Amino acid sequence: MIRKFAPALIAASLFASHAHAEQPTLYVAVFGGSFEQLLKEQIVPPFEKMTGSKVILVPGDTTTTMARMQAQKGKQTLDVAFLDDGPMSQAAQLDYCETLSDAPVYKDLYDAAHFKSNKAVTIGLDGTGIVYNERVFAAKGWAPPTSWKDLQNPLYKGHVQFPSVTNGYGIESLVMFARLNGGSEQNIEPGFAAIKTSVAPNVLSFDPSPGKISELFQNDSLWIGAWGAGRTQSLRNQGVPVKFVAPKEGAMALGLSVCPVKHDTVNALAQKFVQYTLTPEVQALFADEEGVAPVNKHTELPPSVLAKVPDTATVAAMLSVDWDIVNAMRPTWIQQWNRQIEQ
């Protein structure tokens, strides 16, 4: 039997299907935890309304996102990717990222935000240093930590957090321990030796997951660790009693970056999304929720937010990493780490 449908119903059905098919969709790789929540709740909805698009967030850490882009090179399903600046330099070098389309907002950024490749851009400046549990330190009457070498103190045995070198904070901490012991990016062995003999015995967790770290600091299992200023601030925003310290030997500069993922043709919507993350309004949200210093010169922050982010002097004093060397050696270092540290 042939069913008959009202013309209006058929038209409505066709229109709905057509509208659904026409709606542009962006797949955006993001850090998990508070970063994902910030985009989902405050950043993506206005962009979707402004552009008539649908944004689907794909959470994961830097290693996961890089692996996905590598596996899908030439047939990418992602349209935009957020990464730490070190891996982002590598992603641009490996041609995973599209060249940025020219836009006025790029002229409003500090020089530190620009990549030489012009295939990615930094959205916020963070620092790698020491995080400690204020509640535990206060209860025990301890002075706040001041040095990277505090992670080696046997007083904290079984209560130290140190992120794996698959993580940006972990790789920078490894380089820092190399430098503290007469090495460098070119000579990383002193870093491995110091961590293996003096830090690893104190470590409770090498897990770089923000959710896991938050849980362990919240229940006082963790007392001190190596972590980022921005991540520490996001934990504080959740009520976790942690505080960031720029060690006396220097904190390491680390940027949060974004790029439009390369496809056969330039994805104009992906380019717009990248530009949108650099607007003063969105930059203020990153500063407030993630504790990163804005890169747009026109971003205005209230005093309560200014107190959360690294100031200009702090950022200027941060130590830099030679990412060309690090990225070339990182696979080897990860293998060595897995053999010698996280056994």
User: Would you list the domain boundaries of the chain?
Assistant: 7-125+254-317, 127-252+321-340
Query: Is residue 119 scored above 60 in pLDDT?
Result: yes
CB-CB contact of 110 with 101 (8 Å): no
Q: Is-contact 199 342, C-beta < 8 A?
A: no
Note the pLDDT of residue 95: 94
- Res 4 pLDDT > 80: no
Can you give the pTM of this predicted structure? 0.73
127-252+321-340 and 7-125+254-317 share a CATH fold:
yes
Fold of the domain spanning 127-252+321-340 = D-Maltodextrin-Binding Protein; domain 2 (3.40.190)
| β-strand pairing of 121-133 with 160-161 | unpaired
- Measure the CA–CA gap between 264 and 271, rounded to whole angstroms: 14
CATH hierarchy code of domain 7-125+254-317: 3.40.190.10
**Is the pLDDT score of 320 beyond 90?**
no
324, amino acid identity: D
pLDDT tens digits, 48-78: 999 999 999 999 988 899 999 999 988 999 9
Tell me what pLDDT residue 316 has: 67
Q: Provide the strand spans (E) within the chain.
A: 25-30, 54-59, 80-84, 121-133, 160-161, 203-205, 224-228, 242-245, 252-260
Of the given ranges (14-18, 64-68, 164-168), which has the lowest mean pLDDT? 14-18
**pLDDT for 103 beyond 50:** yes
Is the per-residue pLDDT at 308 higher than 70?
Answer: yes
Confidence of residue 136 (pLDDT cuts 50, 70, 90): very high
Q: What is the pLDDT of residue 17?
A: 41
Measured CA to CA, the distance from residue 181 to residue 194 in angstroms comes to 8
Instruction: Place 18 in a pLDDT band, splitting at 50, 70 and 90.
Output: very low
Quick check: 8 pLDDT over 60? no
297 Cβ contact list (under 8 Å, min separation 6): 108, 109, 110
Q: Name which of 138-152, 226-240, 246-260 the model is least confident about.
A: 226-240
Q: Which of the residue ranges 3-17, 141-155, 174-188, 272-286 would you say has the lowest mean pLDDT?
A: 3-17
Tokens of 17: 């299907």
